[in-house]
Amino acid sequence: MKNLLKNFGIIFIFLLVLGALFSLGDFHTDKPEKVGINKVIELVQNEQVKKIEAMGGTLIVTVEEDGQEKKLEANKEPGQSFSEIASNYGIDKDKLSKFDYEVVEESGWLFWLRNLIPYLFPIILILGLIYFMSRQVQGVNNRAMGFGQSSAKQAKQDDKSKKTFKDVAGCVEAKEELQEVVEFLKTPQKFADMGAKIPKGLLLMGAPGIGKTLLARAVAGEAGVPFFHISGSEFVEMFVGVGASRVRDLFSKAKKSAPAIIFIDEIDAVGRKRGAGLGGSHDEREQTLNQILVEMDGFDPHIGVIVIGATNRPDVLDQALLRPGRFDRRIVIDKPDINDREAILQVHAKGKPLNKDVSLRAIAERTPGFTGADLDNLLNEAAILAVRNNMKEVTEELIKESIEKVMLGPEKRSRIMSEKDREMTAYHEAGHAIVGHFMKHCDPVRKVSIIGRGMAGGYTFSTPEKDLMYKTLAQFRDEMAMSMGGYVAERMIYGDENLSTGPSSDLKKATQLATAMVKRYGMSDILGPRMYGDNEEMIFLAQEIHDKKNYSEKTAERIDEEINRVLKEARDRAEQCMKDHKKEMDNLVKLLLKKETVEQDDFASLMEGKYDMASLENHNTEEKK
Ligand code: ADP
Ligand code: ZN
């Protein structure tokens, strides 16, 4: 649109300049006066004519008037010569020999140009204008046509971007399954001869960043086939029908370069249960989904095109996608366990100079729940930190700092807290830490700090020692008590009136835990072993939206009561714990106010009463001197 306006502007200015030239320019000054043919005859009769030039249908007559030469112009019939006309008018032949008569052959382009330019200019201008406008419109058209083409990127299989199974650490089971697919792609004929059907589609399922794309790429790399990558959300456009035509285009591209892999990321964006009533633009999604199904049913399995879909929400997928002959193979990729994490760290540590003291095992221990992408990011953060600190190597300390940064956001050292706020934060965090330490089922506390991070004023950092498959009721109860720790400490020390807004996120976490215990896990005796609410969709979407209520109002009341009871119990347990360990808590607060951050070792010895508090005082007085 901007372009169009600009072009119009240019044309307009051009026209103005031309107009000015035409009106100012002396196109007309030379022009002889126009006269009728009988005037010319009369002049010839009076022997005033010096010269006549005949030019097609025009006569240029030069006359002498008062000793001055003057030019006149007259028209004649192009076919007639002047002498013929003269004789028609009855002029003597000798009068004609009194002046020069010249027939100017103004033939060719010069003549035409002279005559046509005045007419041609506007025509050329108009044509130009039309041309410009049509080009603009065509541009729009071209783009409109391009909508239907898939924007699938065909990854280049050059050496740099080529991935193999070596680049994927862990995921042993997934790799074994995929090895089979690699065989299919490499030697489809072998399977065809045996009458075995090659799978058309397989589904990789797992959390974001777990390495689904990486695995699919590695399959393509291992088999040496082209890799077409598109994201489900790219299918869903503003215009109905675009998605379907993109699918068609994508499959035809892939078939042309078969054997090949089509990777559809976020397939749930199009493959969600039809008629689920969520997320607008149904028709478009359904059409796209149908087209995918049609394409998958349509192609000959021996052609060697394999569709790999990736999703982190398999439960919302339409059943039609999962039927045999479509995405019938499903591979679940779990979060990496400690060994996998170590291996992934090894992959990404390549090319980063690590200090000798770095134990990747220790890092892996500290990062349960991290995905491959998180670990990648973690080492990258550490490397950036090393550069910023002008260090030659990445140290373990930097990596540990990055873990906290990745998990909790960057430290806010520059935030200035009043002495009162600092003390309150110290009590709050000490509350968490004390409960976390003395409750048997809490994760060990690794670090307590009153330096703000992200939204939080301070933080208590605890991670489990081992990866755990399941959580138990006992763990839930202790975890809830720990979440309550900050709130309870503030209340104990400052009283109800001085409670701060700090604990709101702690309370939210505790409430969510309590709700899940009561409603989802059947962990309440009063409500019994039942799942309340049909929360299939709920787990993924904003939690509050879609909890289908499948119980009565009366039950709802009991659920509420039960959740409250569980939360109060957690609060009371936290309070009791802090009363029992008041001394440790006061010491921890003291230490926090001095050092701001207390690491695991110091924390542990402090809790055991082995930390030399006196040294802290002494140290301090020395410093003051
Ligand atoms: P997803 O597609 O599951 O969201 P990706 O495949 O895009 O995740 O993974 C993101 C990044 O995480 C990868 O580029 C890679 O650097 C890293 N990563 C994930 N899993 C692994 C793994 N098993 N081994 C090595 N790196 C991994
Ligand atoms: Zn807190």
Q: What does the pLDDT read at residue 287?
A: 78
> Tokens 């709050």 — which residue?
428
What pLDDT score was predicted for residue 14? 75
Q: Which tops the pLDDT comparison, 369 or 135?
A: 369
**Which residue's entry shows tokens 């390549």?**
350
Decide if pLDDT at 150 tops 60.
no
Indicate whether 128 belongs to any domain.
no
- Give the whole-angstrom CA distance, residue 366 versus residue 373: 16
Band of residue 544 on the pLDDT scale cut at 50, 70, 90: very low
Mean pLDDT of 452-469: 77
What DSSP element (H or E) covers 150?
A: none
* Claim to verify: residue 442 and residue 459 sit in the same structural domain: yes
Provide the CATH number for the domain around residue 376: 1.10.8.60
At 89, give phi and psi (nearest 5°).
-80, -5
Same domain, 284 and 369: no
Per-residue pLDDT reduced to its tens digit, 52-72: 887 777 788 888 777 777 888
Q: 429, 490, 575, 584: which one is catalytic?
A: 429
81 inside domain: yes
268 lines ligand 1 (CB under 6 A): no
* 484: nearest Cα among 420, 559, 560, 576: 576
Q: Give the pLDDT of residue 625.
A: 37
Look up residue 387 and give its two tokens.
Answer: 């550069």
The whole-number pLDDT of residue 542 equals: 40
For 334-362, how does the pLDDT look when each residue is reduced to its tens digit (9 = 90+)? 888 888 899 999 999 888 888 888 888 88
Q: Pick from 70, 48, 71: which is nearest to 60 by CA?
A: 71
Does 616 fall in a domain? Answer: yes
pLDDT range class, residue 540, cuts 50, 70, 90: very low
Q: Assign 567 a pLDDT band (cuts: 50, 70, 90).
A: very high
What does the pLDDT read at residue 621?
45
For residues 300 and 173, membership in a common domain is answered with yes
Q: Has residue 126 been placed in a domain? A: no
Residues 6+ apart with CB under 8 A from 194: none
Last residue of a domain, one of 81, 109, 137: 109
Nearest ligand to the CA atom of 449: 2
Q: Mark whether 70 and 86 lie in a shared domain.
A: yes
Given 285, 306, 333, the domain boundary residue is: 333
Q: How confident is the model at residue 30 (pLDDT cuts 50, 70, 90)?
A: low
Do 327 and 188 share a domain, yes or no? yes
The total number of structural domains in the chain stands at: 4
User: Of 500, 505, 501, 527, which is closest to residue 516 (Cα–Cα)?
Assistant: 527
Mean pLDDT of the chain: 80
Task: Report phi then psi at 211, rounded to 5.
Answer: 110, 25
Task: Indicate if 430 and 491 belong to the same structural domain.
Answer: yes
Residue 251 has what pLDDT? 87
Ligand 1 lined by 161 (C-beta under 6 Å): no
Cα of 341 from ligand 1 centre, angstroms: 12
538, pLDDT greater than 60 = no
Q: What's the rounded Cα separation, in Å, for the pair 138 and 117?
A: 30
Highest mean pLDDT among 228-232, 346-350, 401-405, 458-462: 346-350
pLDDT in tens, 281-331: 466 777 788 888 888 887 776 777 888 999 887 777 778 788 877 887 888
User: Are 425 and 371 members of one domain?
Assistant: no
Does one domain contain both 319 and 358?
Answer: no
- CATH number of the CATH domain containing 103: 3.30.720.210
What is the per-residue pLDDT for 622?
44
pLDDT tens digits for range 69-79: 788 888 877 67
Residues 30 and 15 placed together within one structural domain of the fold: yes
Examine the residue annotation and report whether 397 is marked as an active-site residue of this protein: no
Q: Is residue 71 part of a domain?
A: yes
Q: What average pLDDT score do residues 530-537 get?
A: 68
CA distance 253 to 262: 10
From first CA to last CA, the distance across the chain in angstroms is 74
Same domain, 191 and 243: yes
304 in a domain, yes or no?
Answer: yes
* Closest ligand, as measured to the CA of 375: 1
Contacts of 93 (CB under 8 A, 6+ apart): 87
Residue 147 lies in a domain: no
Q: Are residues 372 and 440 in the same domain?
A: no
pLDDT digits 0-9 by tens, 204-225:
988 888 889 999 999 988 888 8
pLDDT tens by residue, 506-529:
999 999 999 988 888 888 888 888
Amino acid 603: pLDDT? 92
Domain that holds residue 314: 160-333
Of the candidates 410, 391, 394, which has an alpha carbon nearest to the alpha carbon of residue 348? 394
Q: Indicate if 101 and 202 belong to the same structural domain.
A: no
**527 phi/psi in degrees, rounded to 5:** -90, -15
Distance from residue 613's CA to the centre of ligand 2 (Å): 25
Mean pLDDT of 104-114: 68
Radius of gyration (Cα) for the chain, nearest Å? 44
Is 60 exceeded by the pLDDT of residue 161? Answer: yes
Q: State residue 22's pLDDT score.
A: 60
Give yes or no for residue 212 CB within 6 A of ligand 1. Answer: yes
Q: For ligand 1, say whether the CB of 170 is within 6 Å of any of its atoms.
A: yes
Grade residue 243 by pLDDT with cuts at 50, 70 and 90.
confident
Ligand 2 centroid distance, CA of 526 (Å): 30
Return the higher-pLDDT residue of 7 and 347: 347
14 found inside a domain: yes
Give the residue with greater pLDDT, 158 vs 530.
530
Q: Is 167 annotated as a binding residue?
A: no
Domain boundary among 69, 93, 109: 109
Question: Considering the chain, what percentage of its residues have pLDDT values greater than 70?
Answer: 83
209 ligand 1 Cβ < 6 A: yes
Asked if the model's pLDDT at residue 141 lies above 60, the reply is no
Pocket test for ligand 1, best of 214, 231, 264 (most atoms within 8 A of CB): 214
